[in-house]
Amino acid sequence: MLSEEQLETLMLDMESDHVERKAGKSSDKIRRAICAFANNLPRHNQPGIIFVGVTDDGKCANLPLTDQLLRELADMGSDGGILPFPVIEVQKRTLNGCEVAVIQVQPSDSPPVRYKGIVWVSIGPSRRRARPEEERRLAESRRSQDLPFDRQPAHGTSLNDLDLVLFERAYLPKAIAPQVLAENQRSLVQQLLSLHFLTTEGIPTKGAIIVLGKEPSWWIPGDYIQFRKVDGTKITDFTLNSKEISGPLPDLVNQLDDVLDANISTALDAVSGPTDKRQADYPIVALRQLAYNAILHRTYEGTNAPTRVTWYSDRVEINSPGGPYGRLNEANFGQPGVTDYRNLILAEAMRVFGIIQRFGMGIGLARDALRNNGNPPLEFEVRPETIIATIRPSLRKLNGNGK
């Protein structure tokens, strides 16, 4: 929300294509204004402001601002009357001695936005239905602004939601050559912007939240890993232990590595005889590569489902929400050299942090590790909504068990 000084200036100034005043609480008129500001036809790329409880000349209308009225205003962004859902913020403020409700409307990433099926736009101080050519402009604007999920702004977040120490000490020195860092003397905000962790409006991207967020799952509900070890072969069998793994990307991966390593069983390889060779039921390289692939290639959009690692008594299943993306399909999934990326910032971050050494090699490395360890071939179940990788234990005879 803008500062008190900025809001007072706007409230007393003339109405424009991003400022409107309403003396009463007419739901229909306020929703039209929200719809118009969300469409942002003039492309100001700044929020629209609606002052409720203010007359046309900026004077106080003495409108009772009850808790119920504030809730009704806030619900206008999510009750389905305006679609796609606009991003709005409602606050009760005292401006120039007048108690008002301030509605801040963010420009939509997916115009045209409609109220009751009608596209409303702002032309100067007036609000009206969009003409066909204006709807076309809005649709073209949407297509030009279509961005990968992790390049989109994480509305509601700020720099305070990012681990900036992690960025400065761990990410930045690996992402930018030392001599370049020394020469350009960019500010922290400029560095974040140049690496696509901030939008030009200063809002952290969703990729920044996934990679550097202090609590990523607060903002992206599916951004965690659910680990579960099952005493049996069915999902309904008894849970031996479980863990939810979350945090910024490096912490997430480190915790995952520890959990995977702790659950691998090793024993003497009976085939080796007196050489006392240790044999793992699952090669850690394969488990890591497949889990990293699930984190990287999953969809984080439109789902609250986590990445799941389920450790049964006869297999390990790694479930990645979202089906194939881009060039990938059910027929070519897993083939060498066929890959695509729905999360470009996340892919770059995994490379910078050294989680992934070479793109497109994860499945091949996993298959090699399984073959060398004597495990059955890797299995994939590819569906439109999910991809499940199944790893089965080594076929070599083990003498005893335990790590």
Say how far apart CA 201 and CA 43 lie, in whole Å: 13
Instruction: Taking residues 180-184, report their average pLDDT.
Output: 71
Count the alpha carbons within 13 Å of 369 in the hemisphere toward its beta carbon.
20
Q: Is 105 helix (H, G, I), strand (E, B) or coil?
A: strand
- Other beta carbons within 10 angstroms of residue 117's beta carbon come to 6
Structure tokens at 54: 């203010």
Residue 402 has pLDDT above 50, yes or no: no
The pLDDT tens digits of the residues spanning 75-101 come to: 898 777 888 788 899 999 998 889 999
Say how far apart CA 285 and CA 307 lie, in whole Å: 18
Q: Which residue has the higher pLDDT, 360 or 301?
A: 301
Say how far apart CA 319 and CA 366 lie, in whole Å: 16
Q: Which of 38-47, 173-182, 374-383 has the lowest mean pLDDT?
A: 173-182
pLDDT at 261: 95
If you search the block for the tokens 């702790």, which residue do you land on?
Answer: 262
Q: Cβ(212)–Cβ(196) under 8 Å?
A: no
- Other beta carbons within 10 angstroms of residue 351's beta carbon come to 16
pLDDT at 311: 97
The pLDDT tens digits of the residues spanning 266-278 come to: 765 555 455 556 7
Residue 20 has pLDDT above 80, yes or no: yes
Residue 15 has pLDDT above 60, yes or no: yes
Query: Does CATH number 3.30.950.30 belong to domain 4-146?
Result: yes
User: Which overall architecture, per CATH, does domain 225-399 show?
Assistant: 2-Layer Sandwich (3.30)
Say how far apart CA 385 and CA 403 lie, in whole Å: 36
Structure tokens at 168: 């400065």
Instruction: Taking residues 192-220, report their average pLDDT.
Output: 93
pLDDT at 314: 96
Residue 145 has pLDDT above 50, yes or no: yes
Task: Please give the C-alpha separations between residue 281 and each of 162, 226, 267, in angstroms, as whole numbers.
Answer: 39, 21, 8
Instruction: Taking residues 34-39, report their average pLDDT.
Output: 92
pTM above 0.75, yes or no: no
Q: Which of 50-59, 178-187, 191-200 has the lowest mean pLDDT?
A: 178-187
- Mean pLDDT of all residues belonging to the chain: 87
Residue range(s) in the chain whose domain bears CATH number 3.30.950.30 = 4-146
The two counts, helices (H) then strands (E), for the chain are 14, 17
Instruction: Taking residues 316-338, report their average pLDDT.
Output: 84
Residue range(s) in the chain whose domain bears CATH number 3.30.565.60 = 225-399
pLDDT at 83: 81
Structure tokens at 170: 């761990």
Q: How confident is the model at residue 334 (pLDDT cuts 50, 70, 90)?
A: confident
pLDDT at 399: 41
Give the DSSP letter of residue 259. H
